[in-house]
Structure 1
């Protein structure tokens, strides 16, 4: 039977890690045998997600940027578990995994999730190009990323498969978040989900909130995520006079619960691939305002399933939010369109089926 190893260099609660957990656990439940190869010195989030699912786990240590010891350990581990297909995620494991799979004489698949870390140095681009050359397939999670990979690595577009991320999220009828935040009837809540890094654009969202605050005195902003900008965002909220209406929720696992509390969802990123949080908001039919970056315009059907705005533009972001807050009918129509599109294109079972079909071709 099919025995799949999933290799990843990080194990925090990011999109690549969540996608790995979803694919491995779904395929395990369907009868395939799955092994996750994770960093020994990571956060442990992915381990906690996989415990009790039947997915086996092995841990590696990367002692230096170029480690012969790790390469040899990977070959031995893949052979010991009699793996038939190795699936590596992102740059580092793509390079190590392709070499190990070739030495162990098995098929290899690479998925790139959006980070173009590899593109900034010629040496990395060459290393990834060699990894792709010795692999059966290179997968990109978006059409935009596929185009970047083709150009960056000097490879034909036909060598790249595009498999969008998939999500499975059941709508929650009543959220506990509004009580948690002390919101009263009549209060409106806009929500963003994403780690607090500059690329996610939360500073621009907060500035947009400052523009909206006087016109919409019942409006609150909540952001679920963690990261380096937490203190700066709190300080900026105080400067804008909205500190009492600005809520940092930290890392949350109850995404369906917090989405159910939101009157609208905002994705203010300045750079992006295909964010899972956006797909989850679509799946549970939230009105959406999002930056027109990466694969987001395609996901939102060029504005037919959510409003698109120029990135890093607080006035434009504020205007789009105000439009949905004041036009309930349009907001409902966009939310319904988003839900239909998510169910048709971005459902988790569809993503898993596409990967299973790809493994069968290796």
Structure 2
């Protein structure tokens, strides 16, 4: 049962700092060239309700097909169906969602904020890139990265594997990180960051 879509997942709270509007614009550009693309925006719509509604309205007004706002879901149930993941934040610290995506062997497109570049390109390992780093609010660059991953399954697999190795190493090397991560999971009762 072959999924007709190329599924792009965004695990995030729908808030201005995550710059979901840039993501939607870039997705719309890419979708014009590759109609099989589908965007899954997975996370809370409650935190910035006006912004979330603006994002929904944008999808409607621009008549962009195949954008799903799932609200809060169990990401683990969805992440396996994704071909790759995306984060277009204008600010991040250490984005756990990237490591979670890597743990599921998914490559990532992320803006060059916080430690995204280090996670995707690697800092002290030879695993190779696990996705593409794109400029903040760089709609056309983000669209190009989406199309690159959409059209090349071999690259997706290779980058997903690089991310997986990097995540395993990060979890292994950092007992502290693991402890925080487990505590975080307990406190939030979810995998959503």
Q: TM over 0.5, yes or no? A: yes
Contact between 2:110 and 2:116, CA under 8 Å: does it hold in 1?
Answer: yes
CA offsets 1:136-171 (integer angstroms, 9 cap, x no match): xxxxxxxxxxxxxxxxxxxxxxxxxxxxxxxxxxxx
2:22 to 171, 196, 204: 204
Change (3 A) 1:347 1:311: farther
Give me the whole-angstrom Cα distance separating, in 1, the residues matched to 2:29 and 2:91: 23
Give me the whole-angstrom Cα distance separating, in 2, the residues matched to 1:247 and 1:272: 23
2:78 maps to which residue? Answer: 258
1:232 and 2:50 are equivalent in the alignment: no
Cα offset, 1:186, TM superposition: 1.5
Which structure 1 residue ranges, 5 or more long, are not aligned? 1-183, 356-362
1:284 to 101, 104, 114: 104
Cα offset, 1:224, TM superposition: 1.1
1:271 to 91, 95, 98: 91
Cα offset, 1:301, TM superposition: 2.7
2:188 maps to which residue? Answer: none
1:341 and 2:166 are equivalent in the alignment: yes
1:351 maps to which residue? Answer: 176
Give me the whole-angstrom Cα distance separating, in 2, the residues matched to 1:185 and 1:324: 16
2:35 maps to which residue? Answer: 217
Cα offset, 1:353, TM superposition: 6.9
The 3-state SS of whatever aligns with 2:38 is strand
TM-score, structure 1 normalization = 0.44
Give me the whole-angstrom Cα distance separating, in 2, the residues matched to 1:207 and 1:347: 37
Change (3 A) 1:332 1:354: same
Contact between 2:83 and 2:156, CA under 8 Å: does it hold in 1?
Answer: no
Give me the whole-angstrom Cα distance separating, in 1, the residues matched to 2:98 and 2:162: 14
Give me the whole-angstrom Cα distance separating, in 2, the residues matched to 1:258 and 1:239: 27
1:307 and 2:125 are equivalent in the alignment: no
The 3-state SS of whatever aligns with 1:312 is coil
CA offsets 1:178-201 (integer angstroms, 9 cap, x no match): xxxxxx732111110111111112
Aligned length: 171
2:183 maps to which residue? Answer: none
1:137-156, aligned counterparts within 5 Å? none
1:246 and 2:73 are equivalent in the alignment: no
The 3-state SS of whatever aligns with 1:261 is coil
The 3-state SS of whatever aligns with 1:195 is coil
The CA RMSD over aligned residues, in Å, is: 2.2
1:1-362, aligned counterparts within 5 Å? 185-225=3-43, 226=45, 227-228=47-48, 229-242=51-64, 244-252=65-73, 254-302=74-122, 304-346=129-171, 350-351=175-176
Change (3 A) 1:215 1:344: same
1:170 maps to which residue? Answer: none
Contact between 2:7 and 2:38, CA under 8 Å: does it hold in 1?
Answer: yes
Cα offset, 1:296, TM superposition: 0.8
Give me the whole-angstrom Cα distance separating, in 2, the residues matched to 1:314 and 1:256: 28
Contact between 2:171 and 2:177, CA under 8 Å: does it hold in 1?
Answer: no
